[in-house]
Amino acid sequence: MRELKGPVFWLAAAVAVSASLFHLLTGGFGFLEPREQRSVHLLVLLPLAFILYPAGETSPKDRPSVVDWLLSALAVLPSLYSYGCANGGRYCASIINLRFETVDPVHPVELVFGVIAIVLVVEALRRAVTPVLAGLVASGILYLFVTEYMPGILHFRDIPATQIVETMYLFNSNGIYGSITGISATMVAMFIIFGAFIEGSGVGMLFHNLGMKVAGRQAGGPAKVEVVSSAMFGTISGSSVANVFATGSFTIPAMIKLGYRRQFAAGVEAASSVGGQIMPPVMGAGAFIMAEITNIPYQTIALAAIAGSLLYFFMILISVHFEARRLRLTGCDPDEIPTWSFVLRDVHLLIPVFVMIGAMAMGYSPSFAAFWGIIAVWPSSWLRVHTRLWPADILRMLANGGRNMVVVALACAGAGIFVACLTVTGMVISFSTIVTGLAGNNLYIAGVLIAITVLILGMGVPTTAAYIIGAAIGAPILQQFGVPVLAAHMFVFYFSILADATPPVSVASYAAASIARCSPMAAGVVAFRLAIAGFVVGFSYLHSSALLLQDSWFEIIGEFIANALGLTLLAAGFFGFFRAPLPVALRLPLIPLGVMATLFDPIPVWWRVAIVAGIAVALYLGQKAAAGREEGVLANEAAVRAEARLARETSPT
C-alpha cells in the first residue's frame, strides 16, 4: 500500500471514510436493493484500489501516477451505470433486474462498461490482492473464449463475446455484481468495520495483557501468551496476516528472548494467527459467505465451530508446552507479568463484543449485530480516561475500515467471476466426475483430493476467494458421499484457512518470519506441524457431526476427548517430548496412533478413548524415572537463577 501524503492522502481517507459510513448507514437502517448495494460498494472501493496500490516496483510510492488517476476515474463508470445513470427517467439497476438474462440484447454501452469492469477488476486484483488470483480470473475468462477448441472434459460450446460480458457484468447471481459481491457489500463489510473499531480501541493490548496474566508464569510462557492472545484477537480481526503483525510484534521477540528458536517462535505465531479465523464469535469472512451460500444461520455456524477451534488451539498449546519442557524453558520474568488490576482496567473495551454477541443471541442478523457493536465502541471507551476516543480517532477507524474493505471486495468480485466461469461451462460437474472417478466409493480419498485442491488454491489466493471457489467445486462432491451440508462446507472452509500455514507458500509464516528474522520456509514447516490439528478436525467432520455439536452429548463428549487425546499423542510424536524426552522409536508410532484415535471411525468413539487413554497413561508412567531426572535438572537451574537474582538485588551497585 502506498504511503500517501498531502491532499491525495486526505482524498483517499475521505473516500475510505465515505465507504465505511455508507455501509454503516445501510447496515443499521436497511440495505439498498441488492444490485444497487453492490454497485455502490464497488463504485467506492474499486477506484480506491488504484489510488492506494501502485502498479509495480517502479511506480510512485507516495502518490498515484497519471495512469492511476485515469484508471480510478474509469472504474467509477461501470458501477455508476449499474447503480442508476439516467435512462428515460429510470434507474439502470431496475432495468438490469427486470431483463431476461441471455435473452435480452446487450446494448453497446453495456458492452463497453462490461469490458472496462472486467479489465479493471483483474488489474486491481493484481495490485491489491495477489497476481495469482488475477491470473486465475484472467485464465477463466480466456477459457470462455476458447472453450470450443479445448479437448476432453474442457470442451464446451462456443460462447459469444457478448454473452461472456453479459455474464460477468449484467448477471445478478454470478459475476462482478453477483451474490458473492453482495455478501461482501453487506455482512462482511460490517464486520470489517467492526474489526477496525475493536482494534483501534486497544483490545489487542488487552488480550496480550490477559494472555500474560493467564499463561505467563508457565513453562515457555511467552509462547502460550501468544497462543491465547492470537485466539482472542484473531476472532476479531479475521485475517491471519493482520493477526501476525498485531500480536507477533510483542510475542515473537519475547519467545526468542526466552530461548525458543526463531523459526519456532515464528511458526507458533503463524499457526495461532491462522486459527483465529476459525474461532467464534466472529471468525473469518468466509464464515459469513458460508452462511449465505448454505442458508444456515451464522449463529449456527459459529456454534458449530467452537469444538474444532478449541481442539486446534489445544494442540498448539500442548505442543508449545512440550517444546518448552524439552528445551527446559521457564516462564516470563515475574516483573513483566501485569497484575489483575492492570489487566481489568481495560476490560470495558470488550463491551462492544458482548453487545454484538448479545444481539445475535436475540435473533438479530449478524450485520445488524455488528452495527450495534460498532456504535457501542465510542461510549464504552469513555468509561476510563486512558481509553477515551476522540473524533479524530473515530475518523481514523472509519478510514481503516474502508481501506481494509478494498481487498475483500476485490477478492469477492474476482471469485464471483471465476465461479461464473466454472458454472457457465459446466466445469463444476466435470471436476466432480474426475474426483468421484478417482475416489470410487471412498469418502476419505475424495476428501484428500478436495483438500489438496483447496490448499493449492489457498496458497495463491486469499482465504475468502479460496473458500468460495472450493465450496463451488468441492462441497457438492462431499454431499454426494452423504456428508451434511454444514460439515462439507466446514471441511472446505478449514482447508482454505490452513493454506496460510502450509508450505511452500505460507503467507502467515512469511509475515511472522519477517518479524523473527528467520527463514520463511523453516517457519512454515513449524507452523504446519502446529496446525496439524486443523487437518485432523477437518477430516473428523467427514465421518461425524459430533464436533459440529450436532449429535447426542454422549457422542459429542466422546469425540472431543478422543480428538484431544489423539492430538496430544500427535504433538508428543512431532516434538519428541511427553513427560520426558522421547526416543525416535517411541515418537514414530505415536503419530499413527494419534490419527487412529481421531479418524478411525470403525472403532466406536468410547473404545477409541479407552485405547488411547491407556496408551497415554502407560507412556506417562513409563517415563516416570526420566521425568524425575528432568525435574531435578530444572529445579537446580531454577535455584541457580534465584540465587543470581538475589545477588543482583542485594548488590550495593
16 and 49 co-located in one domain: yes
What local confidence, expressed as pLDDT, does residue 641 receive? 61
Into how many domains does the chain fold? 2
pLDDT band per the 50, 70, 90 thresholds, residue 324: confident
What local confidence, expressed as pLDDT, does residue 627 receive? 61
222 and 367 co-located in one domain: yes
148 and 204 co-located in one domain: no
Is 455 part of a structural domain of the chain? no
User: SS3 letters for 580-634?
Assistant: CECCHHHHHHHHHHHHHHHHCCCCCHHHHHHHHHHHHHHHHHHCHHHHHHHHHHH
**How many residues are given for the chain?**
653
Is 225 part of a structural domain of the chain? yes
323 and 277 co-located in one domain: yes
What local confidence, expressed as pLDDT, does residue 239 receive? 66
Q: Indicate the pTM of the whole model.
A: 0.84
pLDDT band per the 50, 70, 90 thresholds, residue 450: very high
User: SS3 letters for 495-526?
Assistant: HHHHHHHCCCCCHHHHHHHHHHCCCHHHHHHH
Average pLDDT (169-188) is 90
The three-class DSSP label of residue 305 is coil
Closest CA to 474 of 498, 499, 493: 493
Distances (CA, A) of 472 to 18, 407, 428: 33, 21, 7
- To which residue does cell 503467507 refer? 507
Domain boundary, last residue among 392, 409, 437: 392
pLDDT at 237 over 60: no
Is 272 part of a structural domain of the chain? yes
The three-class DSSP label of residue 3 is coil
Higher pLDDT, residue 200 or 398 = 398
Is 645 part of a structural domain of the chain? no
217 and 155 co-located in one domain: no
Is 40 part of a structural domain of the chain? yes
Determine if residue 4 is left, alpha or beta; phi over 0 gives left, psi from -120 to 50 gives alpha, anything else beta.
beta
Is 357 part of a structural domain of the chain? yes
Closest CA to 496 of 339, 278, 303: 278
What local confidence, expressed as pLDDT, does residue 631 receive? 59
Q: Which pLDDT tens digit goes with each residue over 523-559?
A: 888 899 889 999 999 999 998 889 999 988 999 999 9
Domain boundary, last residue among 392, 416, 446: 392
Is 50 part of a structural domain of the chain? yes
127 and 201 co-located in one domain: no
Domain boundary, last residue among 392, 426, 452: 392
267 and 360 co-located in one domain: yes
Q: What is the DSSP string of 146-190?
A: HGGG--GGG------HHHHHHHHHT-SSSSTTSHHHHHIIIIIHH
The torsion angles phi and psi of 307, rounded to 5 degrees, stand at -60, -45
pLDDT band per the 50, 70, 90 thresholds, residue 274: confident
77 and 219 co-located in one domain: no
pLDDT at 394 over 80: yes
112 and 202 co-located in one domain: no
Q: Which pLDDT tens digit goes with each residue over 68-115?
A: 999 999 999 999 998 875 344 455 667 788 788 888 888 898 999 999
170 and 204 co-located in one domain: no
Sign, CA dihedral 361-357-558-591, equals positive
Set of cell numbers at residue 495 = 482447508
Is 566 part of a structural domain of the chain? no
290 and 224 co-located in one domain: yes
211 and 140 co-located in one domain: no
Domain that holds residue 113: 6-181
